[in-house]
Every structure is written in C-alpha cells, then in structure tokens.
C-alpha cells in the first residue's frame, strides 16, 4: 500500500508544463490524455444529437412507430 501513499509530488512540474503551452493550444487540448477524452466526448455527443434529431424528424413527419406497433426493420 506504500506505493499508493508515498508518491512524489509532481503538481508543480505538471503545472509549469501546462502553463508553458499557454497560447499554443486550447486549454482542453493541453493534457496528456485530453485528446482522447475530448474526441470521445465529441463523438458521443454527436451520435446522441444525431439520434435525437433523427427521431424528432421522424415524429414530425409521422413516420415513427406508434405506441403498441412493432418497430419496422
């Protein structure tokens, strides 16, 4: 358990690194894994908005399945 508790403090080192990138990259792209997180978030957001928009259009045109009807495949 000692390897989890007694770790070196790297906050100052990481803070200096992230602040050195000031003006070169946007804040949310600066971290080491931030490109993965932001890309995954944007992909999930895009898919959810696309699904919501598609369903909204289907309801607007009356092509969505009614309650109790089987979904068309």
Which DSSP symbol is given to 25?
B
Asked if residue 23 belongs to a domain, the reply is: no
Residue 41: inside a domain: yes
Residue 58 inside a domain? The answer is: yes
Tell me whether residue 44 is in a domain. Answer: yes
**pLDDT tens digits along 38-68:** 999 999 999 999 999 999 999 899 887 777 7
> pLDDT at position 64, please?
79
Residue 56 falls inside a structural domain: yes
- The verdict on residue 73 lying in a domain is no
Six token digits for residue 28: 């949310």
CA dist., res. 66 & res. 1, Å (int):
58
- Looking at the whole model, is its pTM more than 0.75? no
Counting the structural domains of the chain, the total is: 1
**Domain of residue 47, residue span:** 29-62
Is 53 a domain residue?
Answer: yes
Cβ neighbourhood burial of 53 (10 Å; 0-12, 13-18, 19+): exposed
**What percent of the chain lies above the pLDDT cut of 90?**
42
């Amino acid at each position: 358990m000692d390897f989890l508790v007694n770790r070196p403090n790297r906050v100052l080192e990481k803070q200096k690194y992230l602040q050195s990138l000031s003006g070169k990259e946007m804040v949310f792209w600066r971290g080491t894994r931030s490109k993965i997180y932001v890309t995954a978030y944007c992909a999930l957001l895009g898919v959810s908005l696309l699904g919501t928009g598609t369903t909204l259009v289907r309801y607007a045109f009356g092509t969505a399945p009614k309650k109790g009807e089987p979904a068309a495949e």
